[in-house]
Structure 1
Amino acid sequence: MRAFVNRLRERARDERGLTLIELIASLTLLSVVMGIIYSSITFGMSAYNKIRIENSLRDEGDLIMSSIISKLYTYGPDSIAQSKSDAYRQRITLKLAGMESEEIVFDYSDESAKNALFFKRKNDDGVVTNSDEVELDSELVVQSDADWQEGSYIRLVCSDTSKSSCSSGLIEIQLKLRQMYANENHDLVLESKFGF
């Protein structure tokens, strides 16, 4: 131990310094180590943000799906009809016996509606008497496509195609949710089908 301390004292008194080759070698090693550290931190942060956004989108998708399923099973409608849809609205109507009808609407008709799913209760005359909405942090993407292949949609497939509303069939739901991070769109498409 004493020999080591003596060597350190001798080096401290030595005024020779570093050669140019030693300086270049140490800077090269330092830049390689710093590059590895920087790339590891950058990769870790981007992976963290990607997973965080994906989890957020999945949570919101689960919220929307559970809201729709809860409306369907809470009311137990006598029949369900595909309401008239356009490029900005996708909707189905739950027809309830002796009560007002409940409408589930994917509405994207104005800028303020793109982050919400609407449940509208209408009376027999078609007047909205009550409206609930599920607000989202993500954007619910609804696109105008005749085949409804892009964007979010809610579609009814009746077992008896001759009727406008059906008491049994299949409801197909596709959700396209979008969040923006670092000027980049992150999309998640969820599909679900269930019978009634």
Structure 2
Amino acid sequence: MSEDRVGDSTVAEVKDASEIRRGLMGRRAALVVLLVVVLAGATGLLGVHTSTARASGGGYSIALDYARVSRAGLDSPWKVTVTRADGFDGELTLATSSTYFEMFETQGFSPEPDSETAAGGVLYQTFAPPEGATSFTVAYDAYIQPASQRGRTGRTTLIVDGREVTHVDYRTWLVP
């Protein structure tokens, strides 16, 4: 054997058993995390979760269906239903925190309000009363903007004849 080859070993690069175990455990942990994320997505846990906020007062009740949890790019419901057993005899105004709507891209409200104004961080939408009906629904066709990273809180107040009748508070959380 020549002297040039003395000291060269083919086993010098072999890892010891503890290094091999750490690498194996790290790969297994990463695989478990990936599996949890895939299963969460497959079962809908990462999608839109809706909730309903309800309140009543002055003979009126309101129910707001909204996205309690959502994420960017997903359609997210916002639908207010106003009910009055005796029917409606005057205009209805919905006053909603305008900052709540900042996280949405929208196609608009349905039906569109007869008049609309914004003041002091509140969007006021006035609707003619539905004839002969005991309930009235306004839906917002929207999805969460791709740039939205944080959720928002909101308040929707029902105003009849210039006075606040009732309101609901709600919050939409955004997840990545």
TM-score range, shorter chain: 0.3 to 0.5
Higher relative contact order, structure no. (Cα contacts within 8 Å, ≥ 6 residues apart) = 2
Query: What TM-score results when the alignment is normalised by the length of structure 2?
Result: 0.34
More helix by share: 1
Which has the higher Rg, Structure 1 or Structure 2?
1
